[in-house]
Structure 1
Amino acid sequence: MDPNVASGLIGFGGAVVGAGAALLGGLLQHRYQAKTTAAERTQEYGRAAGEKALTELYALRRHMIECGMADIPEARQPWQYIAKTHMDEAELAVMLMPKAQKVQDRISEVMGAGSQQMTTSGGDRVRQTTVGRGMALEAIDILSAYMRGDALPKPSPRVERYRETTAHSE
């Protein structure tokens, strides 16, 4: 083979290999960036959902404090419906948090235990609002610990009793 033709074919082969490597490198980089972007988006979405839940829990706590006083302000009526709305909104936001199953389960237990205890308090508004404040604070502690990356706090005695009663009813 003519040395000029051979060197031309070797050069062409090198260009094809180089172009292939560049395309493969670009494809791999694009996939990595897409995964990184998706992970960041998921993390941002989870953080936003957690912040929404905390906002609702703090609103629930504030509402329960004001409703535990002698006279409930007109803006807080009907107080039980407003409390239930805050509870539902907080629980919904927590359920939208990706990769947070343990937190979702714990918040559901806290809300279930609090709702159960509020219901069994009868018409005693002061008792109901005290339970509601405690429920909101416990949920805030759980969610705050998760968002900080800390270990979740231990369940309260109220939640432990709730677990026992729900385990017996299944």
Structure 2
Amino acid sequence: MEPEVMAGWIGGLAGLGGAVVGAGGALLGGRLQHRQQAETARRERWEGFARAATEATLNELLKMQEEMTDWSTAFTGAGEQSQELYHMVLKRGRAARHATLLIPEATELRARLQAICAVMTDYQASSPRPGEFEVLSRFAWSYTAAQEGIEVLASFLRHEPLPPPTAPFINQESQRVAYRAQHPLPGS
């Protein structure tokens, strides 16, 4: 074979090899980019789910505090008013507890919120001060626990570390545990 022909073949094969390598690189790059985009989309969906569930929980706690404030403004000491408060706390507390179950990839947050909701709705563990209406003691109990939840959720939404439990909440939680040791709920 003549050197000019051989040089043509070598150049042609080198060009063909380069095209194959280039096409393979483009396909591999496209596949990796697609994978990365799919992972990013999945992560953004999870973050959207977490944000929506967290906001739903936060909204329930805020609505509860707003309704409780309205209730306390109209409080006259009548017995049926206390039932309105208990119904409100239980309804909003259950809704908040259920919304926490939907927060993905936030085990510590869910555990804290479950404890907060348990304290908030277990207002029977509160003990009124001398001369204080029992219902007002229970109001303060649930309102304080709801505030604890609001602060924890706000930190989570700001992507900050969860704050440690406050001293009043720690006191409420230990008071609730002691109360439930003496007065267990049915089925526990």
State if a TM-score over 0.5 links the two structures. Answer: yes
Q: Which residue of 2 aligns with 1:24?
A: 28
Cα distance in 1 for residues equivalent to 2:96 and 2:15:
65
Q: Which is higher, the Rg of structure 1 or of structure 2?
A: 2
Any conservation in 1 of the 2:58–2:96 contact (CA below 8 Å)?
yes
Question: Does 2:82 align with 1:98?
Answer: no
TM-score, with structure 2 as normaliser: 0.75
Using CA pairs under 8 Å that are at least 6 residues apart, name the structure with larger relative contact order, 1 or 2. Answer: 1
> 2:95 corresponds to which letter in structure 1?
E
Alignment equivalent of 1:158, drawn from 172, 184, 188: 172
TM-score, with structure 1 as normaliser: 0.82
Structure 1 residues not aligned, in runs of 5+:
none
Shift in alpha-carbon separation, 1:163–1:6, aligned structure 2, 3 A: farther
Q: Tell me, what secondary structure is at the counterpart of 2:161?
A: coil
Identity of aligned residues (%): 31
Shift in alpha-carbon separation, 1:85–1:37, aligned structure 2, 3 A: same
Any conservation in 2 of the 1:146–1:152 contact (CA below 8 Å)?
yes
Structure 2 residues not aligned, in runs of 5+:
128-132
Pairing of 1:73-152 with structure 2 (within 5 A)? 78-116=84-122, 118-120=123-125, 124-152=134-162
Q: How many residues align?
A: 166
Any conservation in 2 of the 1:57–1:139 contact (CA below 8 Å)?
yes
Q: For 1:33-62, what per-residue CA distance to the aligned partner results, in whole angstroms no more than 9, with x for missing partners? A: 111111112112211111111111011111
Any conservation in 2 of the 1:57–1:136 contact (CA below 8 Å)?
yes
Any conservation in 2 of the 1:57–1:90 contact (CA below 8 Å)?
yes
> 2:134 corresponds to which letter in structure 1?
D
Shift in alpha-carbon separation, 1:162–1:80, aligned structure 2, 3 A: closer
